[in-house]
Every structure is written in structure tokens, then in C-alpha cells.
Amino acid sequence: MPVMYLARIAQLAGGKLVQGNPETLILSYTFDSRTVSPGALFFALKGTRDGHEFIQDAYKKGAIAACVSKEVKGLPPEFGLILVDDTLKALQNLAAKFLVESRVKVVGITGSIGKTSTKEFTARLLSARFKVLKSHGNFNNQIGLPISILSMDGSHQIAVLEMAMSQAGEIKRLTEIAPPDVAVLTGIAPVHLEFFKSLEEIALAKKEILDGAKPGAVAILNGDDPLVRKIADTYSKGQIIFFGTKKEYPVRAEDIEHQGLDGIRFNLVYGQEKAEVRVPFLNEGLVINLLAACAVAFSYDLKLEEILPALSDLPTIEHRGELIKLRDGIKIYDDSYNSNPVALAGVLKSLGQIEARRKIAVLGDMLELGPQEPDFHREVGKKIPEYGWDLLVTVGPRAKYLAEGAVENGFNRDKIFSFLEADEAKSGLKILIQPGDFLLIKGSRGLALDRIVQFLKKEMED
């Protein structure tokens, strides 16, 4: 983390030091009083709760200064106070100016699906040659991104930053804080349609990462996605590198072969080089995310021989495609972090090829899909019998439309079990599951299907 004098921080943040020693050294930065460490600067942000209410708590845990937008009393005179008009903008200004001074290169990653997996894979591949910082967890918004930047130290050369949005203009602001040298667009899918009128509007909002990229920035684009290809036609700042499965792409996967629980084998074409790759993924969608990461490595001139060791040691990401083995040969594919129609259809197809006594799809609502919500659920539901699933368990009021779609396409209604919420589904699944079963658990975050996963792990640990 950048160690800076309090006076310097006040200057970069656009504020005024109204209390404390200007030469106080700040060791870390946070907006959450629960994560305060000794020597921290606490940003009193205003959200559902006013961060100013937690300054005393931050002080007791070791914070030595706070960035505030109003007068604060009851603190010792040595406690630093930086007064600003807007604490969020101050946090963003500080991160943006520190990033400029650090001269660290930025890889910005956005898209409707696969952002976090792509971020993790990209950081892993680039670390073969560079010292890499990556966004923490899902720190991908206007608060989390600057906090991630402020966790850098002087050894970092590249920052791999996830950039998320739910409304137009949000990625634009993120690129103002951290303009990418390499901008990655993983794909466009029907998410957040509650806030957008069409997929085209979502595509325009995602395009903000290219609009906000630096002059000469490399665009890493999913060539298999028609809307992304359309966006590519307007990009003229720098080189475009397409990834995907078509022969004209410089980074692509050929001869993809599912090998059951052993994962997926494919030939990775990497410019003029090629190698057979075996990855532990069960979901082919993760291969596409890995190709995006390979394209970033390609843009930084890493050789295939440099990234091959990393390809055999890729990180697993909690609740985003973890294979969990329980007793009696029961297995869970935990993809409970989130869901949308494209991602769900893809994982149903990939995992439908797994051999198991019974394949059980435990599927929750897909949220924020707007007026066409029932139709999106029905269309994905039709895939359930097509891809060879034996039982369907729905969780949530919207997931009934998944069941309707499955039945419309010939699925036996007697093999459908429905629950209103995750806690209700837990006990039902405990009774339903038999030795040798394979379960896919997937739904939007608001359904909290991870609680089902944790419950089954506890009850059926091997």
C-alpha cells in the first residue's frame, strides 16, 4: 500500500487538512470500520449508513486519520482529519492520482459474464513475468476499485482491475479513475435489463471501457459475441485482439473435448504457437474466460512457454464453478454466486455431459431481467431436458418459469421440486439426494443459494 504523508494525501484527494500532524504517515486505506488496521486512513462514505457514524469505532481499532465531509468532534487533536466536499470523490481522486504517479499499467476487464474468472486467470498468467495487483474479491465498483488501487505497493507493474456496472455511465467513471492500457470485454448478455431497454443498450454501456481507454490501448474482445464484434467496428485507438473459437482469431481454442469430471482438453492457438491444454473446468464458459486472459498475456508479448505452467495451476474461485465432493459419491458443482440466461444455458449444456447416477439441476431465480423475465426463464428451462438432466429443483418465485419451460419441452413434471427460498430447499434436498448424484447449484446472488451449498457440505462431508 502507498505510504504517504497526511498532507500529501489531502492534496491529492482535493481536501484540506483541518486536524492532525501533516507529517503523519498513513499505512493503509479503508471505508469499512470492520477492516481497520493500525495506521489506517478511514473514508467516511455516505451510503445506506453515514460513515461519519463509524469514525469513533475506526479510531478505537487503530485508524489515525479520517477523510470527512462535515465537522467531527470528540477525537484527540493528533487524530488527522481531511475535510472534503464529497468523501467518495476524494477517495477516487486519491486513487486516480496515485495511479498516475505510480506509472502502473492497467488491465480493465468488463462484460456481462465471466469478469471475475477472467480477472483471476489474467493475473495468474501475467504473474509469470510481472508483479501484478488484482482487484480484491468483487471490488469492482466506484468504491471497491479505488480501494484496490490503494493497496498497491512500489513493486507492482500491472493492475488487473474488474469494472462492473448496473447503469450507463458507471464504467465511464471507473475508466476516469483507472484508464486501461488494455481493455477486455468478455461478452454481452441479458443482465440488468431492469435498467436497460435492450441488449444493445447494455452493449453501449459496456463499450464505455473502450471509450475511456488510453490512446493506443489494446482492446481484447470476444469475437464469438456478435454485439462485441459490432462494438469492435467503432474502435480505432489501438490494436484489437480477438479471442474465441473461430479460425481467424489469433488467440483461440480448437478441438474442445469434454472429459467428464477430468475437465476439458483443447488446443490453444496463441499467435503462431499451439499447444494442447488440459484444464480442470467442467464448464466450457470458463475456457472462453481463459482465452481472454491468454489474449491479455499475448498483448504483453508473453511467450506460450511462459504461460503454460500457469495454465496447469489456475485458481479456483469460490461459488463460481467449484467442484465439491461429498460422501457416497455425491458431487456438487457450486456456481451459486450469480446467474443469467446465457451463463445458465452454457453451464447446463457443459455439465449435462457429465456421467452420474442422476444429474440434478438446482436453479434459482435470475434477477434484474426486466419485463421479459418469464420468457428468459422459460427459454432456458427448455434446455433442461435437451441437455440430459434428470431432476429439476427450483428455488424462488421466478424459477417456476424454468419449470414451465422444461415441461413444455417434454420434461416429466413429477421430476420437478419447487421451493420458495434457499432455507426451505436445504431440508428438501437432504431428503432428495441419493448416492452417486451430481448437482448443479446456480442462481442470482439475491437467492443466496450458497447457503444450500454450505448446508450440504456440513451434512454430507466425505
Claim to verify: residue 243 and residue 192 sit in the same structural domain:
yes
Parallel, antiparallel or unpaired: strands 240-244 and 218-222: parallel
Phi–psi pair at 371, nearest 5 degrees: -60, -25
What DSSP designation does 54 have? G
Instruction: Please give the C-alpha separations between residue 116 and each of 173, 268, 306, 355, in angstroms, as whole numbers.
Output: 19, 21, 23, 28
Mean pLDDT of 90-103: 96
Distance CA 142, CA 177 (A): 9
Average pLDDT, integer, range 443-461: 94
Pairing mode, strands 264-270 and 251-258 = antiparallel
Q: Is the pLDDT of residue 1 over 80?
A: no
Give yes or no: residues 113 and 229 share one domain: yes
My answer on whether 351 and 300 are in the same domain is no
Work out whether strand 25-26 and strand 40-43 pair parallel, antiparallel, or are unpaired: unpaired
Please report whether residue 95 resides in a domain: no
Instruction: Answer for the pair 401, 381: CB distance below 8 angstroms, yes or no.
Output: yes
Nearest to 335 by CA among 367, 327, 343: 343
Among candidates 107, 94, 110, 85, which has minimal Cα distance to 151? 94
Residues 288 and 334 in one domain: no
Most confident of 195-199, 211-215, 315-319: 211-215
Residues above pLDDT 70, as percent of the chain? 100
Domain assignment of residue 435, given as a range:
322-460
**pLDDT class of 136 with cuts at 50, 70, 90:** confident
> pLDDT at position 191, please?
86
Phi then psi dihedrals of residue 182, to 5 deg: -130, 125
Q: pTM here?
A: 0.94
Q: Verify that 296 and 339 share a domain, yes or no.
A: no
User: What is the rounded average pLDDT of the residues 189-217?
Assistant: 93
Distance CA 299, CA 291 (A): 12
| DSSP H or E run through 98 | helix 87-102
**164 — alpha (psi -120 to 50), left (phi > 0) or beta?**
beta
Instruction: Give the number of other Cβ atoms within 10 Å of residue 95's Cβ.
Output: 24
pLDDT of residue 37 exceeding 90, the answer is yes
Residue 105 pairs in a beta bridge with 158
- 97 inside domain: no
pLDDT > 70? residue 129: yes
The answer to whether residues 210 and 236 belong to one domain is: yes
Residue 299 lies in a domain: yes
CATH number of the domain to which 429 belongs: 3.90.190.20
Residue 420 lies in a domain: yes
Q: For residue 446, how far is the Cα from the chain centroid?
A: 16
**Are residues 123 and 172 part of one domain?**
yes
Q: φ, ψ for residue 364 (rounded to 5)?
A: -100, 175
On whether residue 91 sits in a domain, the answer given is: no
Position 462 pLDDT exceeds 80: no
Domain-embedded: residue 395: yes
Extract the C-alpha cell encoding 314.
Answer: 489456475
DSSP string, 262-288: G-EEEEEEETTEEEEEEE--SSHHHHH
Domain membership flag for residue 90: no
Return the H-helix or E-strand segment holding 325: strand 322-325
Structural domains of the chain, count: 3
Contact in structure between 51 and 129 (CB atoms under 8 Å): no
Q: Which residue has the higher pLDDT, 31 or 461?
A: 31
What pLDDT does residue 48 have? 84
66 falls within a domain? yes
Same domain? For 141 and 200 the reply is yes
Of 126-140, 278-292, 335-349, 356-370, the poorest mean pLDDT is in 126-140
**Residue of 436, 389, 445, 376 lying closest to 417 (CA atoms):** 389
Query: Domain end: 85, 119, 151, which one?
Result: 85
**Percentage of the chain modeled with pLDDT above 90:** 93
**Residue 185 and residue 281 share a domain:** yes
141, β-bridge pairs: none
The cell numbers describing 277, all together, are 491444454
Answer yes or no: is pLDDT of 33 > 70: yes
- CATH of residue 137's domain is 3.40.1190.10
> Exposure of 197 by Cβ count < 10 A (0-12 exposed, 13-18 middle, 19+ buried)?
exposed
Task: Taking the CA atoms of 429, 435, 439 and 445 in sequence, report the sign of the dihedral they define.
Answer: positive
pLDDT band at residue 461 under the 50/70/90 scheme:
confident
Q: Answer with the one of 288, 311, 334 that is the final residue of a domain.
A: 311
47, 151: one domain: no
How far from each other are the two terminal CA atoms of the chain, in whole angstroms?
41
pLDDT one-digit tens code per residue, 313-351? 898 888 999 999 999 999 999 999 999 999 999 999 999
220-239 tens-digit pLDDT = 999 999 999 999 999 999 99
270 & 333 share domain: no
- Bridge-based pairing of strands 437-442 and 358-364 is parallel
pLDDT average, residue stretch 408-434: 96
Output the pLDDT for position 315: 85
* Cα angle 337-450-417, degrees, rounded to a multiple of 5: 105
> Across residues 12-24, what is the average pLDDT?
97
Residue-wise DSSP of 102-150: HT-EEEEEE-SS-HHHHHHHHHHHHTTTS-EEE--TT--STTHHHHHHT
> Is the confidence at residue 412, as pLDDT, over 80?
yes
Give the confidence band of 47 by pLDDT, cuts at 50, 70, 90.
confident
Q: How far apart are CA 163 and CA 180, in angstroms?
A: 10
Residue ending a domain, among 311, 334, 357, is: 311
Q: Of the ranges 39-43, 195-199, 349-353, which one carries the lowest mean pLDDT score?
A: 195-199
Going by C-alpha positions, the residue among 286, 311, 399 that lies closest to residue 126 is: 311
Q: 201 — phi, psi (to 5°)? A: -65, -40
**Residue 297 shares a structural domain with residue 329:** no
Is 414 or 191 the better-scoring residue by pLDDT? 414
CATH at 60: 3.40.1390.10
Give me the pLDDT at residue 313, please.
85
Strand partners, 278: 265
